[in-house]
Structure formats: structure tokens, C-alpha cells
Amino acid sequence: MSKRVAVIDLGSNSARMAIFERTSRFGFFILREYKVKVRLGEGAYDKGGFLQDEAMDNVLYAFSEFKYFLSIYKVGKVLCTGTSALRDAPNSNLFINRVKKELGLNLRVISGDMEAFYGGIAALNLLSPLDEATTIDIGGGSTELAKIKNGKIVDIISLNIGTVRLKELFFDKGDMEGALKFAQDIIANIPSHFISKDIIAIGGSLRAISGAIMQLQNHPIRLVHNFTYKYNDYSNLINKIATDKEFDLKTISIKKDRFDTIKQGAMIFSLVVKKLEAKMIYTSGVGIREGVFLTNLLRPNLKSKDLIKIPQEHKISFPKGFNPSLRSIQDRFAKRDNSITTKYVKALFEILHPLHEINGGYLDELIIASKLYNIGRSIGFYSENAHSGYLVKNALNYGYTHQQKALIAAIIEYQGKSINSLGEFENLLPNIMVVRWLSFLLGLASALSLSPNISFEFASNTLYIKGAKNFFMLKNEIKKLIKPAIFAISFE
């Protein structure tokens, strides 16, 4: 597979392109995203789905701009998919041929089931794991659901309701009652096995709502991906967005170019949440584009025709324990191998357990921290802990909750320094003693990593460190660490 792969996704509302950069076999990150509101569905819903000339021209202009970026970034492979508006359009072939002829792009129209499947694949592989959940992807023309259970997609469904569709068929005519009834009727048909207390929210409208909630909370992490909230805490707000004509969207931080479809998005969302009896919302920054990319990355030999029959029969996942963000951060920023530090944090966590008594689950975050604590060095040595923390908070996107990211960053940033308050991250972090201990353990392991053959013993409230007696700098570093409890350290 090429180093850089682009996925173009042409919806009813906007055309989007994501450029994925692979940093190793399965490690990757998103280098660029482009979004153009082409409104391909515009004017079509009242006209039997026929794509209108101006809308088609807009798409062609936008695609030619996409192509320019493909050359700028030397993208080796382009996967180009079209969804609801093209599925609906009797004249889609004419348009697809124009795209092929004028731009040389192979635009592949995918079914609603495949669209749901790709969203599910993205959520399964790139969100922090959930035992059971249902994804909802609200688009301009359609809404897709995928039911996830025990790491697999167990069912998918595509509904012909979407924001632009509702807008054009009802809202633009002032018929909110009609919109509600139309949506309710379709949503009533969702089979009951999609019911789930955990919902994964995909798509621009739901991301915009999550973004507004993050702003209201002063949430200290920027990325919307994996942001979680209790639906009940914000159901009033979401209902207001959906139905209150007086509600001023400018009072919450929703971008202007969302104003015209956010009401419809909120309406569909609230109805689906009710139908699914959902409680917790997990925001997904990933969706169809990531699903298409992952399918290509992880199952390059899988033929489309085999995939589309019963897509959920195909297992599309990373090797066990593999995290593509962790890998790609290491690929991009690591300047040295940290395996000795990782070995020592594990040993120290265990041997000092009688002293710290920290829940063993936190060892996971400590281990990730030990892999990434010095990546900030690639920005520069001064304040390298702060740089490493910055990279964790801003680039460890996939597979970790915001709580995990905040804890990994805090362990790295403090690293044995004194901690008086956890600042704006307090709500995401465990209690301060846990952070003190974990950061101390990392600081200690990092100083000791100078010598590969150290062993530990803990007795009579003393940590015996064996095999580092003649290390001068190492012992100096350890003296500077703030111990989170009273105990002695002795070098033997």
C-alpha cells in the first residue's frame, strides 16, 4: 500500500477528502482533511432524486481542487466513494462518467449497508473499546446504524432520513410537524436488537453537537474524537436545537456553516436515541472515510464483491494489542528505544505495590507513558516533558479515552516533580496521589534506564536498587525526584 492514501467521500451535503499518511505497516495518522459543502443533494429530493446541473458542476470543481492536493502530497492511492445522493439519483451514471472522463477518478457508489459497515469498522478499530454499542451516522441524505457486540459488527441498517433531505422536504416549507412524523415513521422500523445504552455518534452534525458540549464544559482536550457525555445531561439542549425556533445557535459554539442543517441533525439524533434507549454518547471523529481506508489497509486482498454480500462476516481489525496512533507517534517522534524504561516501570509498580496500593488497571497508562515519555525531544530538549505531553494530548487520537490521554500526559509531564494541583485536567484524572505515584515511578524508571540490568527489592520500607551503585548522574537524577510517600532508596 502507498505511503499516502486519500479517501474521498461524496455525500448529499459535502464532499470530503482525507489524506492518510502511513508511518509503518499499520501505523498511520490523518495528514489532511478537506471539506467542501457542494450540496450535491440540493434541489434533488423534490425532483425524484435527479442531480441538478449546478450541484454536479460544484462537485467537479471541488474534485479538481482535491486532485491538486493529491499531487502536492504525492498521494499514491485514491479511493473515491459516493453515498445517499448518488444512490437516489436516476442520473448518477451520467455524473459518474463525467467524473471519470474529466478527472480520471473512479467514483464508486456504495450501498447504505456498506456505508453503515464502514462506519462500524472505523468505530470498532479507532474508538476506545466498548463491549456493546450502536453507531449512528447522520448524513445529508441517509442515516446509518451498526450494532457492535464483543468486538464485532452484528447488524447494520441504513435509513432514508438525513439532514438535507428533511430540510428540503419539510423544514424549508415550514412543515416541522411533517418532518417529525416522517422521521418517526422511519425510525420506528429500527429492529429492537439495535437497542443499546452506549451510542457512538458519527458524522458532522453529531460532532458539532459534541463540540458545543465540550465548549460548555470547558473540556480541556481539544479533539472531539472519543469525547463522551451523558445524553440526559444535554437532552434539553439537543431538543432546543432541534425544535426551538427562537434558540440562537450563536450562543453555543457551532460553526456557521452548520447552522442550516444542525436542527435536522439534532431532531434525528433525539429520535434515534429515544428509540435505542441510549444513555451514554461516545463521539466518533472517524466514520466512512476511515472505514474505507482501514478495510483497504487491513484486508487489501478482499474483493468488493465478496465484501458487499454480508459485510459483517468479514473480520477487519488490527493485530491484537496494536494501536495505530501509538505506533505512528513512535514512528514519527521517537528518538530511541524505551523498552528498558517500560521494563522498569512494570517491575517498580509491582514491587512498590504494598506502598502505593494503586489499582492494577492504571499500569496500562503507566506503560504507555513509559513508551512515549521522551517523544517531545523531537521538538527540542528544553521542556521536553511538556512537549511529550502535548503530543500525547494532540496525537494519541485512536483507541484511548480522554481520561486515559489526560493521565498518560500527566504522568509524563510531572515525572516525579511535586504536584500541588491537577489544574484544568482534574475532572479527567484519578486522585492526585495516583498521579503522584505513577509520575514518580516513571521518573524513577527513566533515570534508571541508563543501566539495562537493574533489579529491585523492597524490604523494611526501603527500595533496594541493585546494579547501579557506580552511576553518578543516575543517582543525582533520582535524588531530585519527589517521593510520594516516606520510604528509603538504597543502591547496592
CB atoms within 10 A of CB 144: 29
- Under the binding rule (CB under 8 A), the answer on residue 72 touching a second copy is yes
Instruction: Give the interface size with a second copy as a residue count (CB under 8 A).
Output: 48
Three cell numbers, residue 313: 462476516
Give whole-number Cα distances, 411 to 220, 328, 365, 419, in Å. Answer: 16, 20, 9, 11
The yes or no reply on residue 5 touching a second copy (CB under 8 A) is: no
Count the neighbouring beta carbons within 10 Å of the beta carbon of residue 4: 19
Q: Is 65 an interacting residue with respect to a second copy (CB under 8 A)?
A: yes
Query: Reduced to 3 states, what is the DSSP secondary structure of residue 154?
Result: strand
In the block, cell 533515570 appears at 447
Note whether 397 binds a second copy by CB under 8 A. Answer: yes
Q: Does 222 bind a second copy (CB under 8 A)?
A: yes
Q: How many CB atoms lie within 10 A of CB 113?
A: 19
Rounded CA gap, 220 and 209, in Å? 17
**Is residue 420 near a second copy by the rule CB under 8 A?**
no
Contact flag: residue 450 with a second copy (CB under 8 A): yes
**Which range in 112-120, 347-355, 358-366, 386-394 contacts a second copy by CB under 8 A?**
386-394
Q: Which residue of 13, 58, 163, 342 would you call a contact of a second copy, by CB under 8 A?
A: 58
The mark string for 238-277 relative to a second copy (x by CB under 8 A, - otherwise) is -------------------x--------------------
Closest contact distance (angstroms) between CB of 63 and a second copy is 9
Among 7, 38, 200, 262, binds a second copy (CB under 8 A): 38
Spatial contact of 317 and 31, defined as CB atoms under 8 Å apart: no
Bin 4: left if φ > 0, else alpha if -120 < ψ < 50, else beta. beta
Does the protein bind a second copy through residue 3 (CB under 8 A)? Answer: no
Rule CB under 8 A: say whether 195 interacts with a second copy. no
From the CB of 313, what's the least distance to a second copy, in Å? 33
What separation in angstroms does the CA of 416 have from each of 243, 339, 365, 422, 440?
A: 52, 19, 16, 14, 4
Query: Does position 76 bind a second copy by CB under 8 A?
Result: no
Contact by Cβ (8 Å): 126, 186: no
- Residue 237 binding a second copy, by CB under 8 A: no
The reply to whether 377 sits near a second copy by the rule CB under 8 A is: yes
Residues of this chain, 294-353, that bind a second copy according to CB under 8 A: 332, 335-336
Kindly state the cell numbers that stand for 67.
486532485
482 vs 164: CA distance, rounded Å: 58
**Choices 86-94, 125-133, 312-320, 389-397 (CB under 8 A): range interacting with a second copy:** 389-397
- As a whole number of angstroms, the distance between CA 296 and CA 1 comes to 9
List contacts with a second copy (CB under 8 A): 29-34, 36-38, 58, 61-62, 65-66, 68-69, 72-73, 222-223, 257, 285, 332, 335-336, 377-383, 386-387, 390-391, 394-395, 397, 450-451, 470-474, 476, 480
